[in-house]
A and B are shown apart, each in its own frame.
Chain A
């Protein structure tokens, strides 16, 4: 038997007009945690979709425990011992934990043996070191618990390999700390984990080996203990990165936005703060602390119960997103695919959508003006797209994010709220976005940046507000802006 539990040999995958994977060979040892890292669009997802049976490779072979492997689809892969846990969980909220785990595989002839199923589900969770009510609907569980259900489901298929796609992206710091021991347990149980993540810290913390991809090719592979953070980044972006964050170049001026006693029950309580001209105000806090809700309320996507908002010293009433826009506020949402972009529409249409008045002659839309605007932003933000008429499905995360930014830059707002502006995008594109934030603040625009990535908040903010349970628990400036101080305020 081969020493490798999984071998993917010479995998090539082409789509019409695109080579997504070019002769990739990946070998994974049994019982290891193997990290797969690369910028968005590097081919990680495509490679994993071949492994879990969604795609068939154009060329190349798969071996599971030395035996050639041919997959007929996701279910087939699952039954052969390859489970994938996606960022968006594959669970039905209305069904119980046990039902979700054994969905489609209920035992019993005609009548389902619930006792047995519930007992089995409990046993699986106990194996992972957890014990909670398996008859509870999944919808009532926390994100971390849902993830656990997914892992239990994989175990119920006797998974040999579990692929985890950005498993910690929606977990809180505390939940992440509970998550790592689970991975440890899986490893000890001889289960192989393929760990896809952008978070280098995590890779150094729990992974044994790391494979780095770029432009559809495997560009490096190493034991984690034998590689440095800098080297990984260098391989990912294909050049050496001096720094992950540029230095701040603008300095804050007079107040632009003043929020006073803003309350929106039960999510926000008595929030007051000031945003200055040319400032990047970081908002830190755990997931669920009310950061996104605060952003929505300022922008007008949700309406406050009480409190006031002043812009340039004048009280304004913001009760809809149209009011927000009219008061020169823009918001880049945290989920670009669901709430940031119309994926069916072209790059051009997505950019001009916020300010169509700018691209009309009389009342008629001018295709020429629209094209000019789109070309301008594609060039300025270095958006990689075959054409401005391309729909957004095929653009990578980083390029999609740049389109979202473009649409608010085009509408020329003075106050820009960025909710997780670099979530799920690669290091290169991140750097470009940070530089853009600097440039905007130099022009006198003001930015509120919500971020769960501490290094990002610490490096890019002029000042940090830390939210906790719908309130602003503290403000950090200057030398007080440290990871420790932020976490002190963010947790209970």
Chain B
């Protein structure tokens, strides 16, 4: 008798923990039966192509969250990257543009890292500041106008197609594998887990905690730049406001995947689930005719819900 109540509690915790996944499965089943256009190959491919762009940044965001921090400025780094990528393509071609954008993104990330790891500013304040500054800079670069490119190589890359799958999911897959490997199998990855798990313990174990925190932001800067470039590949334009919702999207996906905001636990692989959940949800909402403004509202609700569930699960596990 007593045993069964315990089991019940355990099952409830498990359900809450996976509430979003459970919801997703139910939602997908609902969509399959009510909306024929949802389960078509074209739409599935569309979901994969769309979600891969933010997915790239979400990998790195997960690493930042594991280290016990978060980063709001990745949205602006993304927007900035679309701008600088297109400008550089028009000026000197795609290969230099690629590297310049990547280095720029990493440099912005490194700036965040420096402020947070070395100067020890709270991530919220530091990345809020850089978010605004970088966005401003991107506006200045283009006089607040979108810019286009007609680069032939870019067009060729953009039109790569394998059964509907574009180049972007392939890049995402590569980034994903790289990050999973980095976090699971390298000393640096382990140091990041320890730093996020308990900063003092890590420091007193002789781990370079400052470097650990620094490097995660640098990687996120680079990943956000890469994501920005992928967006550039898709729409062949650059504009500062692109990717405004990236940071919160990535944090939401990370938490849905089961990485705790407290740091020290979770994994990059799990975030894929979070990315897919969000992609499917918003794709379905669009198909159902929900307006863009309404979707923004729902996006906020989802974020609050998943953070709430994260807190509830943490509380239940403690008990």
A353 to B187, CA, bound (A): 9
- What residue of chain A has the Cβ atom nearest to residue B262's Cβ? A344
Contact of B206 among A16, A59, A321, A364 (CB under 8 A): A321
Produce 1/0 per residue, B188-204, CB < 8 A to A.
01110110011011111
**Range, interface on chain B:** 20 to 34
B207 / chain A contacts, CB cutoff of 8 Å: 321-322, 353
Q: Are A365 and B201 in contact (CB under 8 A)?
A: no
- Tell which of B186, B189, B205, B208 has the most Cβ of chain A within 10 Å: B205
Q: Are B204 and A353 in contact (CB under 8 A)?
A: no
Q: Are A344 and B186 in contact (CB under 8 A)?
A: no
Give residues 437-458 of A contacting B (CB, 8 Å). none
Produce 1/0 per residue, A286-326, CB < 8 A to B.
00000000000001010000000000000000000110111
Contact of B190 among A321, A340, A353 (CB under 8 A): A353
A299 / chain B contacts, CB cutoff of 8 Å: 204
Q: Are A407 and B205 in contact (CB under 8 A)?
A: yes
A407 to B208, CA, bound (A): 16
Q: Are B187 and A322 in contact (CB under 8 A)?
A: no
Q: Are B205 and A301 in contact (CB under 8 A)?
A: no
- Known A58-B2, A342-B197, A342-B264; judge A353-B205 contact (CB<8 A): yes
The stretch from A161-169, A191-199, A355-363, A469-477 touching chain B is A355-363
Q: Are B187 and A16 in contact (CB under 8 A)?
A: no
Produce 1/0 per residue, A353-391, CB < 8 A to B.
110110010011100000000000000000000000000
Q: Are A364 and B204 in contact (CB under 8 A)?
A: no
Q: Are A354 and B187 in contact (CB under 8 A)?
A: no
- Known A353-B190, A354-B206; judge A339-B200 contact (CB<8 A): yes
- Known A357-B187, A365-B190; judge A342-B6 contact (CB<8 A): no
A411 to B201, CA, bound (A): 15
A321 to B203, CA, bound (A): 7
A14 / chain B contacts, CB cutoff of 8 Å: 2, 6
Instruction: Tell me, rounded to whole Å, the shortest Cβ–Cβ distance linking A22 to chain B.
Output: 14
Q: Are B264 and A16 in contact (CB under 8 A)?
A: no
- Known A342-B264, A353-B194; judge A301-B186 contact (CB<8 A): no
Q: Are B10 and A16 in contact (CB under 8 A)?
A: yes
Q: Are B205 and A324 in contact (CB under 8 A)?
A: no
Q: Are A342 and B194 in contact (CB under 8 A)?
A: yes
A407 / chain B contacts, CB cutoff of 8 Å: 205
Q: Are B204 and A345 in contact (CB under 8 A)?
A: no
Give residues 27-71 of B contacting A (CB, 8 Å). none
A492 at the interface (CB under 8 A from B): no
- What residue of chain A has the Cβ atom nearest to residue B184's Cβ? A365
Q: What are 18 sample pairs from A and B whose C-beta atoms fall under 8 A apart?
A: A16-B10, A301-B204, A322-B206, A338-B198, A339-B198, A339-B200, A339-B201, A342-B194, A342-B264, A344-B198, A345-B194, A349-B190, A353-B205, A354-B205, A354-B206, A357-B187, A363-B186, A365-B184
Identify the 5 closest CB pairs spanning chains A and B, nearest first.
A325-B206, A342-B197, A356-B187, A321-B206, A364-B185
7 A-B pairs besides A325-B206, A356-B190 with CB distance below 8 A are A333-B204, A338-B201, A339-B198, A345-B193, A349-B194, A353-B202, A365-B184
